[in-house]
Amino acid sequence: MMKAANRPKEASHASQLVGNYLLDRLHQHGVRHIFGIPGDYVIRLNNLIEKHPIQFINTTRENTAGYMADAYGRVRGLGVACITYGVGINIANAMSQAYVEGSPLVVISGAAGTLESAKGSSMHHLINKPKSSGLDTTQLEVFQKMSVAQTVLSDPRTAPAEIDRVLHACLRYKKPVYLEFPRDVVEAPVPAEEHRFPSNPKSDPEALQEALDETINILSNSRKPIIWVGHEAHTHRLAPAILAFAEKHHIPIVSSLLGKTVVSEKHPLFVGVYQGEMSLQQVQDFAHTCDCAVVLGVMLSDVDTGMFTAHLYDEKKIIAGQAGITIGHHHYFDVYFEDFVKALPTAGLETRYVGEVPSASRRLHDRFNVSSNKTISSKTLFECLQSHLTNDHFIVSDFGDCLFGATDLILDQDSFLASAYFATLGFGTPGAIGAQLAAPNRRVIGIVGDGAFQMTAMELSTAVRYHLDPVIIVLNNHGYGTERPLLEGSFNDIQNWNYAKIPEVIGGGIGFRCTTEGEFDQALRQALGTRGQLSIIEVELDKCDFSPAMQRFIKLVSNRI
């Protein structure tokens, strides 16, 4: 685990520097780590972080800093990445992922000083020569497309109010924001006055009551409703209200893939991950016999709806999310998602539904039996992994068969992360590091395909440097396996690495190479049984071997390509 640093116990709220004002605000909202790369335009802020209770985590590049901060924010409620101008723009992919998947990410960028920019000089890292305004606005314009609020802190007098405005937007909308810091403003004095953090607006009371009344009417006339819960319920911390509503009326729950583990998958009312015809057969059979859907925070994308094969019960549907509330054919734009969900348990519904719920937890009784010398497959890999999981484990998956295979794992509440919509290859390894820093008492298991692993593998040196001990399982199927059934060609092949030897390169950790069920079972037992040491478990798989969940995906999409 990470060693304790010699740092002050509390943030210095009396500081009069713009940079410290920002850091103190972040600290107040639970941020304890900032991820990034130093650079001359941002190095003064790096120096302030060095003296602050927040710790700066040096990463190997900017986009992986963004992935770490994204994962951190999904776990803790706010993540922060810090880059320098121009060359740091490669964080754009991480920002885009966080934007579409609803992750509260703050991106801070250093920039040329206000006096330097005023001269109109062509300085390094600048993308365009400063305009008459004295600023190169190119990076701001790029990041405007993938953030809900932005600011350039060029005036120390207005900086505190601008910082609060932008941070509030991040926390309210659960999406990325962008703060640009001219380097001569970082240590500028802040006016000594009180700044009040904005508050969230409230729903129109009459509209909220009307939405609840219409919801009760639909549910009262339903025989077999189901709750479909998604990732927005997690980012808005609404699981307690959803469970209270479900338990009070005995309503079964399914989740989207992006919303996996919003509620515990061992809860007796949880049926499984629902993705239309991509779902397990027993989940499909149950969900498709329901006559009403209460959809809470689900992104109705192609992946989460199983290529749009999900049943939404058009005449009896309640769809609530950050974008608004839709009930039947009525839209309630003055009713906010949090207010609506929190009001459901006491909304006045009197019905308690009857009927057996095929709880996902029943599958846990199907114990995996290791065949020591049997060649391991993708299917048995996930079955074996399931047999080792406890409440202390946290799964971070990359995209590909690692994600589809992990879909069928049965996990505890708030114990799964993946880029399940934007489908970023390379998220898994840095995401596992960010998640472990966010939840140091959990044991993080990263599941990554070999193609995705090669994109960000060297970020494991960051884990070694900060004494972190994730377990990284590399599914070595010799290329981009998800693409092979769609269209095969040499473009799907990659250079094979000796993945188990990587700890020798980065100066820490232990590696395992597994070809049989017995070797994988033993590697998991050793890796999970020891804290304080990074582990890489390379699992040799046939290039056309796919998990059952991946096979369901292939069946649906192969004719579309």
**CA-closest candidate to residue 280, choices 549, 514, 492:** 549
In this prediction, residue 195 carries a pLDDT of 67
Nearest to 264 by CA among 229, 292, 236, 293: 229
Q: What are phi and psi of 285, to 5 degrees?
A: -60, -40
**C-alpha span between 145 and 175 (Å, rounded):** 12
Give the 3-state secondary structure of residue 286. Answer: helix
Residues (pLDDT < 70) of the chain are: 1-15, 117-122, 129-134, 193-195, 559-561
Assign 123 to helix, strand or coil: coil
DSSP string for residues in 437-505: HHSTTSEEEEEEEHHHHHHHGGGHHHHHHTT---EEEEEE-SS-TTTTTTS-SGGG------GGGHHHH
Residues 6+ apart with CB under 8 A from 425: 398, 399, 400, 449, 451, 452, 455
pLDDT (tens digit, 9 = 90+) per residue, 75-93? 999 999 999 999 999 999 9
509-529 residue pLDDT tens: 999 999 999 999 999 999 999
Ordered structural domains, the chain, with CATH: 18-182 (3.40.50.970), 205-360 (3.40.50.1220), 366-560 (3.40.50.970)
**Do β-strands 317-321 and 324-327 pair in parallel, antiparallel, or remain unpaired?**
antiparallel
Amino acid found at 92: A
Cβ burial, residue 256 (10 Å; 0-12/13-18/19+): buried
Report which of 24, 441, 78, 390 is spatially closest to residue 237, judged by C-alpha positions.
78
pTM, two decimal places = 0.94
